Amino acid sequence: MGLKFPNRVGLAAGLDKNGTAIDGLGSLGLGFLEVGTVTPRPQPGNPKPRMFRLPEHQAIINRMGFNNAGIDALRERLRQVRYRGILGINIGKNFGTPIERAVDDYLHCLDKAYAVASYVTVNVSSPNTRNLRQLQGASELDALLGALKSRQARLADQHGKYVPLALKIAPDLDQHQIINIADALRRHRLDAVIATNTTMGREGVETSPLAAEAGGLSGAPCSRNRPP
Ligand SMILES: Cc1cc2nc3c(=O)[nH]c(=O)nc-3n(C[C@H](O)[C@H](O)[C@H](O)COP(=O)(O)O)c2cc1C
């Protein structure tokens, strides 16, 4: 990505969705912070309860649904931040935006995030926004990445700096989908891939009374399922 990370351990998206704890988190010595997912407009996310801890499995199931205060609120907050380390901004689409218009939401967020981000993550892999993961499909991804890369080139000119783009993908992809995505990443010269978001699978937590809760599973069982 052309970024020099001070160390390998960073904070993934989802803990500090609105960038309200950047200075505190920054003082922990992490190699980077990724805030978001943020969407163009604020939205409440799913009704509670929407996060479930499975301590016996070192896991979490969540269906937060991109609860966030919107990209404008994040920008406002970043004006007050002292942290000068690597800051990723993870962007997504609003719940109410039809999937055919998703590209507009990502472009809107990229425009607003560009000046203040070290890198921007394009989140197409949350299981908690209806149809979002469809954007990992060949034609949808092609259109999305094409639009984002040309906007990135324009923004790089305007701002006199190049802000890399990362694509965050789901772990629930078959070989064919992975090949398609890898091909699109190379063709569009995406700068990075973030693997992975939470899984729809329940492997390793079958015995938990919470296994039937809808949402994405993360933590130890998710990491174990990752291919080496
Ligand atoms: C409560 C919760 C909220 C999350 N919210 C987001 C999010 O808004 N955007 C995103 O890209 N990933 C989100 N994630 C996924 C994490 O960033 C990470 O990709 C996932 O938890 C897998 O890594 P892990 O097993 O090390 O936790 C969330 C995860 C959790 C547990």
What residue ranges do the domains of the chain occupy?
22-51+68-201
Residue range 43-81, pLDDT digits in tens: 999 999 999 999 999 999 999 999 999 999 999 999 999
Q: Best mutation site among 218, 222, 225 for ligand 1, i.e. most ligand atoms within 8 A of its Cβ?
A: 218
Q: Is 223 in the pocket of ligand 1 (CB under 6 A)?
A: yes
CB distance 62 to 218 below 8 Å? yes
Residue range 187-204, pLDDT digits in tens: 999 999 999 999 999 999
Tell me, in angstroms, the distance from the centre of ligand 1 to residue 156's CA: 29
Of all atoms in ligand 1, which is nearest to the CA of residue 196? 19
Cα–Cα nearest to 37, from 102, 88, 100, 78 = 88
Report the alpha-carbon distance of residue 156 to residue 219 in Å, rounded.
36
- Residues with Cβ within 8 Å of 93's Cβ and at least 6 positions away in sequence, in order, are 39, 40, 99, 102, 105, 106, 129, 132
Tell me, in angstroms, the distance from the centre of ligand 1 to residue 14's CA: 5
* pLDDT value, residue 138: 75
Per-residue CA distances from 219 to 58, 197, 209, 223, 225 (Å): 6, 11, 17, 6, 10
Class of the CATH domain delimited by 22-51+68-201: alpha beta
CB distance 190 to 146 below 8 Å? no
Q: Considering 27, 118, 125, 126, which one is annotated as catalytic?
A: 126
Residue range 80-136, pLDDT digits in tens: 999 999 999 999 999 999 999 999 999 999 999 999 999 999 999 888 887 888 877
Q: Best mutation site among 197, 217, 223, 224 for ligand 1, i.e. most ligand atoms within 8 A of its Cβ?
A: 197
Q: Which pTM value belongs to this model?
A: 0.96
